[in-house]
Structure 1
Amino acid sequence: MAHEHPGHRAPDDHPHAHGHHHGPGHHDHGDVDWAAMAPLLEAQAELFAPLYRQAMAWLAGQVPAPGRVVDVGSGPGVVSCLIAEAFPGARVLAVDGAAPLLERARDRAARLGVADRLGTLAGDLPEVLGALDRPADLMWASQSVHHLGDQRAALAALAGHLAPGGTLAVLEGGLPARFLPRDIGIGRPGLEARLRAAEEDTFAGMRAGLSGSVAEAEDWPALLAAAGLRHTGTRSFLLDLPAPVSEAARAYAVTSLSRLRDGLADALDTVDRETLDRLLDPEDAASLHRRPDVFVLLAHTVYAAARPDG
């Protein structure tokens, strides 16, 4: 049974092999050691903070003074705390299926001085939302809906926990991260394009293997409308970290390509595997660890829709 904890210190997006990195607020928890994974998730979310702040500023124009904001699939709470920063009058609830990550969220809220406004709720989505003590004025679902088998039903369930006039903001899609020029001087040009194509096939397999999976055209405004909501806007937000990058950005690039190397090995030819191995070898002069041309460029798209007032 899920319990809501106060935001103060209490006893109590997740990267996957397919490369869509986010928190684990969905059903496919598997055997992941979330306590061990937490620092990686936090580092990534912190790197993405400029993008999330842009998204929150845009949402603040649509929902200027929400009383309750729910972060669906919050992970370790980096974005939950950014939400608390963006909406200083709101109480924020971080909802996730991994209790160790919610503990990190509470610790972060205490460090940042927002513990009195940030609570947590542990359990599987979307069922756990039945434990909410009040509906949400704003609900943020970042890369969590695509981990639920029936996305249409999931959006309807999320919409059912909105207050009249409340807004659901769904972050899905956009453009995948790029870290390198098309021709990097080793292997065949176009390595990242081939990696992303293989990643899409792996992602499709993940979706097909989910419990209750339903094939669905990912027309998010149409899906939100089917959930009884009125589409109020779509906006994409850019994370543009040009070369030379910070050590944090370089570490993100290394981690991302390392996970792709592990998860897509069988889908790559020998040349691309060897190229990736060189890119990931700290001793290689052509590696990501040493290259001056590494950058981070990606886009996330947010779809917003409101529940009718009546």
Structure 2
Amino acid sequence: MTEAHTHHHGGGRGPDHGHGHGHSTHAAHAAHAAHAAHAAHAADLPGLLDGDAQVLGAYLPAVTAWTAEHVTDVRTVLDLGAGTGVGALALADRFPAAHVVALERSPVMVERLAAAALAPALAGRLRVVPADLDEDWPDLDPADLIWASSTLHEVADPARVLRAVRDALRPGGVAVVVEMDALPRLLPDDVGTGRPGLEARCHAALAAAGWNAVPDWAPALAVAGLDVIGQRRFPVEAGPGTAGAEEYARATLRHQRRALGDALAADDLATLDHLLADHGPRAVLSGARLTVRGSRTAWLARRP
């Protein structure tokens, strides 16, 4: 649950892996590999979220400004799955009279949110509540605005969570759902060993594995009893020289490379490894040459 996401980018959280029966060596290796992949993902996530916020966070002021056009007198904001807190901070900045309540289940993220809440600029306006959205929510005051960024695709039962969102809103309050609608683009189109389009092939392979499988949330919002007001796409681009862009691009590509395993042709995998190993001034991932592109889609709905 992230501001980005969970760019884990995997699809929703699935059922826990069982341990199987018998003593199948293959099953044991598969379970070990799955556990190692999950651990690597968990270790990557805070850094990826921080990098995404630093490099591509320009979409946040645009989304919160769009939100502010549709809601007034915002006193209480509820941030579902607040992650590292970049969304909560953007909301606190956009709505200076509001208190922001951040719900987050990850102990690592809760710790980071608690540190962010101490910032003098917030003046005690950010409250961190450890909570799992798939469980019963804590008792909270009605919210004027509920924000769910890169969150709904992570929960076990999005329909249940959206009903809880409706119940937690005051009449006339709004809910905003934000999703990364495509993986960030890091490579020029002509990159590839004799075959341009390496990044497109990477993204296709990751999509086949369930990464970034984001639905249209408008029908689910309507079924939950919310009036869908609008849907907008917010593209964002960070040009050469952007602070942190190279570190973010390398971390993202390393994360993808681990997930790809041997899902691509050998020459494509070799090219990825070369790109990650090349740190020279003319490297494709050099910050002086690098352009990072991304986008978010946001849905906005009101409780009647």
**Could you state the TM-score of these two structures normalised by the residue count of structure 1?**
0.80
Which aligned runs of 4 or more in structure 1 are off by greater than 3 angstroms?
A: 24-40, 282-293
Equivalence for 1:54? 62
- Is 1:233 paired with 2:230? yes
In structure 2, the partner of 1:147 is: 154
Structure 2 CA distance for aligned equivalents of residues 57 and 101 of structure 1: 26
- CA distance in 1 between counterparts of 2:227 and 2:41 reads 39
2:127 is the counterpart of 1:127 = no
Q: 1 CA distance for matches of 2:280 and 2:243?
A: 17
Specify every segment of 5 or more residues in structure 1 that has no aligned partner in the other structure, as ranges.
Answer: 1-12, 208-216
Which of 240, 250, 263 is the matching residue for 1:254? 250
After superposition, the CA RMSD in angstroms is: 3.1
1:271 is aligned to 267
Distance between the aligned counterparts of 1:266 and 1:83, measured in 2?
A: 41
Distance 1:27 1:228, change over 3 A: farther
Go from structure 1 to structure 2 and tell me whether the alpha carbon gap of 1:189 and 1:285 turns closer, same or farther (over 3 Å shift).
farther
| Partner Cα separation in structure 1 for residue 295 and residue 120 of structure 2 | 27
Q: What is the aligned partner in structure 2 of residue 7 from structure 1?
A: none
How has the CA–CA distance of structure 1 residues 65 and 35 changed in structure 2, closer, same or farther, with 3 Å as cutoff?
farther
Give me the whole-angstrom Cα distance separating, in 2, the residues matched to 1:277 and 1:36: 18
> How far off its partner does 1:283 sit?
4.6
Q: For residues 198-219 of structure 1, give each alpha carbon's deviation from its aligned partner in whole angstroms, at most 9, with x where no partner exists.
A: 1112226x98xxxxxxxxx923
Gaps of 5+ in 2: 17-34
Greater Cα offset, 41-50 or 262-271: 41-50
Cα deviations by residue, 1:141-169 (Å, 9 ceiling, x for unpaired): 01111012332233222222111111111
Letter in 2 for 1:154: V
Shift of 1:82: 1.2
Structure 2: how far apart are the matches of 1:293 and 1:283? 12
Question: What displacement does 1:237 show?
Answer: 1.0
Please report how far the alpha carbon of residue 185 of structure 1 lies from its aligned counterpart in structure 2 after TM superposition: 6.2
Structure 1 residue 74, shift from structure 2 partner: 0.6
Structure 1 residue 41 corresponds to structure 2 residue 37: no
**Cα contact 1:187–1:272 (8 A) shared by 2:** no
After superposing the two structures, state which structure 1 stretch, 264-273 or 278-287, moved more.
Answer: 278-287
1:236, CA displacement in angstroms? Answer: 1.2
Q: What is the aligned partner in structure 2 of residue 3 from structure 1? A: none
Give the C-alpha shift of residue 187 in structure 1. Answer: 4.8
Q: Give 1:80's aligned amino acid.
A: A
SS, match of residue 235 in structure 1: strand
Distance in 2 (alpha carbons) for counterparts of 1:103 and 1:155: 26
Q: Sequence identity, in percent? A: 34
Q: 1:72 aligns with which of 72, 75, 80?
A: 80
- Report the secondary structure of 2:72's partner residue: coil
| Alignment-derived partner of residue 220 in structure 1 | 217
Distance in 1 separating the partners of 2:43 and 2:183: 26
Contact 2:88–2:100 (CA<8 Å) still a contact in 1? yes
For the residue of structure 2 that corresponds to 1:203, the secondary structure is: coil
Shift of 1:25: 11
Offset, 1:245 = 3.2
Task: Report the Cα offset of residue 46 of structure 1.
Answer: 2.8
SS of aligned partner of 1:131: coil
**Would you say how many aligned residue pairs link Structure 1 and Structure 2?**
282
